[in-house]
Amino acid sequence: MGSSAPLDFYFDFSSPYGYLASHRIDEIAARHGRTVNWRPFLLGVVFRETGQTPLKGQKMRGPYHEHDFERSARRLNIPFNPPPNFPFPAQAASRGFYWLADADPGRAVAFAKAVYRASFGEGQNVTDIDRLVDIAQSVGADPAAFRAGLADPAIKEWLKTETDDAIARGVFGSPFVFVDDEPFWGHDRLEQVEEWLKCGGW
């Protein structure tokens, strides 16, 4: 018998490939008796470490990936309507996630899925605090408490620690999945994540 530890799913809320993976990762894990530990982090902080820049705007790579975002979504019948402000800073959404996770990890995951759906599914601006409060309320959170939580220094610190931990584990992109200690970078490696879960590695 292999491990039954949760998968670690690292993602940035501003990542289109993270959005695509958010539709699939729970089901992939569940098919193999696993759960998923959702871990938003700040890719911009990682980029300062690695010297990378966002795909959008990169010469040659940028246009390819704009095409591939759409193509990858189409292949899976996932709606894809990125917001005009993509790529956007995802601090507020990420802090909201951890504030929710502190009380109810399941609600935090529902929030993450709803944030992704609003942004990359419907083109909404999820840097807007009022929008985030609405989304939090839609998954059952108290809106005033959630709004206050976004400014909680302990929550800011939690996100910082998660991002530092991600860097320490070698996470340099989004999404990034660990099956036990095996790292997989990219939405297009989810098939290999599933294969690894199935056969226990190769």
Binding residues for its own copies, rule: CB under 8 A, are 46, 49-52, 58-61, 63-64, 67-68, 71, 74-75, 167, 170-173, 183, 185-186, 188-189, 191-192, 202
What's CA 158's distance to the chain center, in Å? 16
Minimum distance from CB of 50 to its own copies (Å)? 5
Nearer to its own copies, 11 or 88 (CB): 11
Whole-angstrom CA distances from 176 to 119, 132, 198 are 20, 24, 19
Minimum distance from CB of 12 to its own copies (Å)? 15
| Whole-number Å distance between alpha carbons of 196 and 31 | 12
Minimum distance from CB of 28 to its own copies (Å)? 16
Nearer to its own copies, 57 or 84 (CB): 57
| Whole-number Å distance between alpha carbons of 104 and 193 | 26
Nearer to its own copies, 73 or 118 (CB): 73
Q: Which two tokens stand for residue 133?
A: 């409060």
| Whole-number Å distance between alpha carbons of 150 and 30 | 31
- Beta carbons within 10 angstroms of residue 122's beta carbon: 13
Minimum distance from CB of 160 to its own copies (Å)? 18
Nearer to its own copies, 62 or 143 (CB): 62
Minimum distance from CB of 174 to its own copies (Å)? 13
- Beta carbons within 10 angstroms of residue 70's beta carbon: 14
The strands making up 176-179's β-sheet, listed across from edge to edge, are: 36-40, 7-11, 176-179, 182-185
Nearer to its own copies, 107 or 189 (CB): 189
Minimum distance from CB of 186 to its own copies (Å)? 8
What's CA 51's distance to the chain center, in Å? 21
Q: Which two tokens stand for residue 194?
A: 């599933």
Nearer to its own copies, 133 or 166 (CB): 166
For residue 153, give every residue at least 6 positions away whose Cβ sits within 8 Å of its Cβ, in sequence order, or none. none
